[in-house]
């Protein structure tokens, strides 16, 4: 796996568009191999071999069903996932960090059709990596990385990029109050509400913005229950994909710092804000916050909790 990541990182560090695209596809392929499973059909394969003994072993399109997602219990016990998760704990092999740095270089190149596609691909992969390795979310507690996402919400970028950025922002903030505080400190609420109030913002993006505001106003979760390695993981993982991090009792961020579930809960607990506090912050930029909160309490989107 280190060799695959090394080749992908070499391409991602390039300033050449085609090489960056190749690196993104290599990362996507690695994640797909971890998250997707192909079920063999031995009888059909044996029958094909009988018909043609010189049939190419690599041509298995007739002997495989379409790839299907692994369920969370299967993923937690998968050796490839286990190896991937361990590699992400160090600075050298952390995929989220490489993707964010790639995103930074893409932003510097300006906006054009091909570059916009690379930006959206990068955002999609960042979402996936953060869900597979939640400790990597700590990257967005740093202002320089959170600012990247806020920059992508500027009117200069196309609606597709703005929508993808809002979804990436949600993934980065879920279960991470410290990141939410960084978002607030960088005037993220002003950025989001200004985009919402702008007449040039597309209807699609405005719908995504309303969803984001609902998410922001949800009660924050200050702590994460501990989990023992491997043993009780499947039951725990049924709660939410964001709980994949608890597949191991100790975790570390992409910068190598060791953190266990209890110490993280204690540190994040001091950073949480109540719904009323967040309502007050949002009310500085938006007049209809009371209506949003009322609707939030009545409709209970996201199942009523943020996991």
In the chain, where the domains are located: 2-34+68-304
CA distance 307 to 297: 17
Each residue's pLDDT expressed in tens, for the chain with a length of 307 residues: 888 888 999 999 998 999 999 999 999 998 888 887 554 444 454 545 455 544 444 444 444 456 677 766 667 677 888 888 888 888 788 999 999 999 999 998 877 889 999 999 999 999 999 998 999 999 999 999 999 999 999 998 999 999 999 999 999 999 899 999 999 999 999 999 999 999 999 999 999 999 999 899 888 876 443 333 333 333 333 334 444 444 444 444 565 544 443 334 344 444 889 888 998 898 898 887 777 777 666 665 555 444 3
The span from the CA of 177 to the CA of 306, in Å, is 11
Q: What is the pTM of this model?
A: 0.74
């Amino acid at each position: 796996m280190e060799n695959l990541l090394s080749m992908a990182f070499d391409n991602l560090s390039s300033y050449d568009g085609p090489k960056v695209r190749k690196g993104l596809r290599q990362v996507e392929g690695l994640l797909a191999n971890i998250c997707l499973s192909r079920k063999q059909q031995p009888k059909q394969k044996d029958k094909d071999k009988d018909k043609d003994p010189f049939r190419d072993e690599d041509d298995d399109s007739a002997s495989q069903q379409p790839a299907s997602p692994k369920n969370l219990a299967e993923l937690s016990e998968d050796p490839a996932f286990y190896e991937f998760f361990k590699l992400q704990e160090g600075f050298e092999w952390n995929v989220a960090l490489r993707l964010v740095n790639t995103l930074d270089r893409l932003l510097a190149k300006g906006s054009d059709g091909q570059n916009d596609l690379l930006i959206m691909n990068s955002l999609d992969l960042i979402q996936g990596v953060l869900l597979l390795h939640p400790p990597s979310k700590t990257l967005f507690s740093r202002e320089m990385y959170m600012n990247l996402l806020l920059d992508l919400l500027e009117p200069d970028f196309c609606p597709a990029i703005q929508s993808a950025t809002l979804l990436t922002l949600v993934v980065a903030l879920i279960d991470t109050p410290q990141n939410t505080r960084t978002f607030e400190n960088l005037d993220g609420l002003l950025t989001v509400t200004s985009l919402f109030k702008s007449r040039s913002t597309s209807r699609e993006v405005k719908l995504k913005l309303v969803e984001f505001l609902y998410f922001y106003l949800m009660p924050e979760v200050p702590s994460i229950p501990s989990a023992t390695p491997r043993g009780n993981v499947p039951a725990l993982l049924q709660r939410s994909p964001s709980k994949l991090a608890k597949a191991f009792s100790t975790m570390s961020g992409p910068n190598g710092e060791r953190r266990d579930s209890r110490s993280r809960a204690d540190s994040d607990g001091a950073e949480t804000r109540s719904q009323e506090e967040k309502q007050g912050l949002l009310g500085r930029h938006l007049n209809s916050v009371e209506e949003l909160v009322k609707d939030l309490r009545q409709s209970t989107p996201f199942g009523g909790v943020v996991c």
